Structure 1
Amino acid sequence: MINALEVVTTVSVGLMVGVEFSVAFVMNRIFDALPEDSGQLARAHGGRMLGAVMPVWYISSVVLVAIRAATGWGHPGTGLAVTAGALLIVSVLMSILLLVPINNRSKTWTPENRPADWKEQSDRWDRYHYVRVAVLIAALALLVTSLV
């Protein structure tokens, strides 16, 4: 049962990290290269889609890592799993405090109603997201290391 939990936890966190990495280094670059207002519209649509899914995924990942740490308490690697969980909590706090407020605004923007500083807000979101991705990668690395 513990092995199944470890696999599910690693796959869940790994896929989440992959999605966030893809947003940062693939999708947003594609969106920014689209002509005229298409990129901004694509970001707004992505914000609506991922804004609905990612909160559940983030919280589920934190819970899975916490369960993994609790079930392995006292065994080698547990400290690494706890640290991975702490980093995932940091990523949740970053999301709530820094990224979600921008996302909640930007997901409603159209070329007709977006604010004059929409590009600066999008760039700020990107910078925060790069940091969040680094935190997530560190959490995943620690989680995987805790299992070996």
Structure 2
Amino acid sequence: MLTALEIVTTVVVGVMVGVEFAVPFFINPILNALPGDNGLLGRIHGGRVGGAVMPFWYIGSLVLVGIWAVAGRHEDGTGLVIAAAALLVVSVLMSVLLLVPINNRVKAWTPESRPADWKQQLTRWDRLHYVRVAVIVAAFACLAAALA
């Protein structure tokens, strides 16, 4: 049963990492290249979709890693699983304290109601997201190493 938990947890976190990695390296460059307000509209919609799904994915990933850490506490690699849990806690805190407030503003915008500093706000979100991606990639690496 522990093996199944380890595999499911690693896959869930790995897919989350893939989705979050795709945002700054693929999705946002595509949206930024669209003409007119189409890119902004895409990011607004993305903020709504991500804002609805990602809290469950981040918390769910953290819960799965926590269960793995407890269930496998006497197994080799538990320190790596605990490190992954700590990194996921950092990612959740970053999200709640830094990224979600910006996202909540963005998803309420329209092309007509966007603030004068909208580009700076998106740039700040992007920079913070790069850091969050690095944190969750490190968490995923810890989980993968714990499996080895």
Secondary structure of residue in 1 paired with 2:5: helix
Aligned to 1:6: 6
Aligned to 2:35: 35
State the TM-score, normalizing by the size of structure 2: 0.99
Provide the aligned length of Structure 1 versus Structure 2. 148
State the TM-score, normalizing by the size of structure 1: 0.99
| Amino acid paired to 1:3 | T
Secondary structure of residue in 1 paired with 2:40: helix
Displacement after TM superposition at 1:74 (Å): 2.2
* Alignment root-mean-square deviation, CA: 0.5
| Amino acid paired to 2:7 | V
Q: What do the CA deviations read for 1:77-116 (whole angstroms, capped 9, x no partner)?
A: 0000000000000000000010000000001111100000
Secondary structure of residue in 1 paired with 2:35: coil
Identity rate of aligned residues, in percent? 66
Alpha-carbon distance in structure 1 between the residues aligned to 2:10 and 2:109: 35
Secondary structure of residue in 2 paired with 1:110: coil
Displacement after TM superposition at 1:24 (Å): 1.4
Runs of 4+ in 1 over 3 A off after TM superposition: none
Aligned to 2:145: 145
Alpha-carbon distance in structure 2 between the residues aligned to 1:56 and 1:98: 17
Aligned to 1:120: 120
Aligned to 2:89: 89
